[in-house]
Amino acid sequence: MAAPAVTGPLLKLNNGVEMPALGFGTFANEGSKGETHKAVVHALNAGYRHLDCAWFYQNEEEVGSGIRDFLSQNPSVKRSDIFITTKVWNHLHEPEDVEWSLKDSLKKLQTPYVDVFLIHWPIASEKNADRTVKIGSDGKYVINKSLTENPEPTWRAMEKLYNEGLTRSIGLSNFTEKGIESLLKYATVKPSVNQIEIHPFLPQQPLIEYCLSKSIIPVAYSPLGSQDQVPGTGEKVSTNKDLIVIAEKNGWSLAQVLIAWGLKRGYSVLPKSSNESRIKGNAKLVALSDEDFEAVNNVAEGRWTRFVNMKDTFGYDVWPEESK
Ligand code: A2P
């Protein structure tokens, strides 16, 4: 029996589309075959109604079959009750490739439209004739300099797909304030979201405030801190004593605290898991008291550790000022 929908607050995008604040991340690092399908079915059964996908994750067929199986077993739920995100990868930023990418994702996801389509990274790179990523002699992506510096043609292609109804909104991921500022100068359709890494070790307050001031909703990936360590100190979000105290005194998991913190800050959060009980547990939403909220803010205060930076793979750093 599927649980009732668990959406958290419904966040209204700048074109009126509503997005459930609780989303489910489908990126699977070393996902074995069938794992994403199972995780998506568990997530929908647990009540999640927002699925975060990407062409790059190479598992959209499994997301699609998971949605199809869930919908066929739960006729009271419709496709339109589920908010689906997908993204275009770096080597597909040329306008005709943007269109190809979305259509390829739609085919795999078995849906005629997605709810938001994002530029995955503010980096355009070259492709091979068979639409694979072109890798240079240095082993890194071959950057398309002009389309990286001026993504207007890419954004125009996104706008076209929006106007054609293949996506209900369009947005960004991993964009900086500077990148958004220049895109807003020519955007006819404004980006509705910016999906970025956010957790107490990377609280992102300035970028969150900037996005909200432009009616762009932040969406947090790796809201659980990815279980990674802070270089140099070995600290982890998952073993932070102050965070654990908050979880234990309320009888919650640390993940529940981190999800609640993000929801209280006013954005969407995308926890991911391949484990059924953790998928279910993360969907048991709790509300942080003001005191506990402040206690998490205190942990976050002054911190700036990014766990997800693909600069060594891309050969291009989105945040060069952080490496100085
Ligand atoms: P698993 O799939 O074994 O549950 P993030 O979203 O910050 O990148 O974190 C994702 C990681 O957190 C996954 O590796 C996932 O592992 C783990 N995770 C998800 N939910 C929980 C939870 N409730 N408790 C502990 N670890 C979790």
Show the beta-strand stretches assigned E in 37-137: 50-52, 83-88, 116-119
In whole angstroms, what is the distance from residue 274 CA to residue 304 CA? 28
Report which of 144, 149, 210, 154 is spatially closest to residue 181, judged by C-alpha positions. Answer: 210
CA of 226 to the centre of ligand 1 (A): 7
Residue 2 lies in a domain: no
* CA 271 to ligand 1: nearest atom: 6
Cα 127 to ligand 1 centroid, rounded to whole Å: 33
State if residue 196 touches ligand 1 by the CB under 6 angstroms criterion: no
- Residue 77 lies in domain: 10-314
Q: Answer whether 118's CB lies under 8 Å from 86's CB.
A: yes
- Provide the pLDDT for residue 29: 67
Summarised one tens digit per residue, pLDDT across range 172-201 is: 999 999 999 999 999 999 999 999 999 999
Q: Does a structural domain hold residue 320? A: no
Q: What is the pLDDT of residues 279-311, one digit of tens each?
A: 999 999 999 999 999 999 999 999 999 999 999
Name the one residue in this structure whose structure tokens are 């609780």.
Answer: 22
CA-nearest residue, atom 15 of ligand 1: 273
Task: For the chain, give percent helix, strand, coil, nearest 5.
Answer: 45, 15, 40
Residue 124 domain-assigned (yes or no) = yes
**Edge-to-edge strands, sheet with 83-88:** 24-25, 50-52, 83-88, 116-119, 170-173, 193-197, 217-221, 268-269
* CB neighbour class for 68 (10 Å; exposed up to 12, middle 13-18, buried from 19): middle
d(CA 247, CA 250): 6
Distances (CA, A) of 18 to 46, 76, 159, 215, 248: 20, 20, 19, 13, 33
Token reading at 21: 């604040």
Q: Which of 273, 275, 277, 280 to mutate to test the pocket of ligand 1 (most atoms within 8 A of CB)?
A: 273
**pLDDT (mean) for 12-23:** 98
Counting the structural domains of the chain, the total is: 1
Residues shown for the chain: 324
CA–CA dist 44, 74 (Å, integer): 10
262 lines ligand 1 (CB under 6 A): no
pTM score above 0.85: yes
| Residue in 46, 87, 40 with CA at minimum distance from that of residue 63 | 40
**φ, ψ dihedrals at 122, nearest 5°:** -80, 45
Q: Are 82 and 7 in contact (CB under 8 A)?
A: no
Scan for tokens 């953790």, then name that residue: 278
* pLDDT of 324 above 90: no
Taking the centre of ligand 1 as the mean of its atom positions, its distance from the CA of residue 50, in whole angstroms, is: 17
Is the beta carbon of 272 within 6 A of some atom in ligand 1?
yes
Residue 203 lies in a domain: yes
pLDDT number for residue 30:
65
Does residue 175 lie in a domain region? yes
**Which CATH number goes with the domain that contains 154?**
3.20.20.100
For 197-238, how does the pLDDT look when each residue is reduced to its tens digit (9 = 90+)?
999 999 999 999 999 999 999 999 999 997 688 888 899 999
Q: What is the pLDDT of residues 109-166, one digit of tens each?
A: 999 999 999 999 999 999 999 999 999 999 999 999 999 999 999 999 999 999 999 9
Q: Is the CB of 189 under 6 A from ligand 1?
A: no
The pick from 272, 276, 280 for probing ligand 1's pocket by mutation, whose C-beta has the most ligand atoms within 8 angstroms, reads 272
Q: Is the pLDDT of residue 36 over 90?
A: yes
Q: Is residue 299 part of a domain?
A: yes
Whether 267 is catalytic is no
Tokens of 189: 């359709």
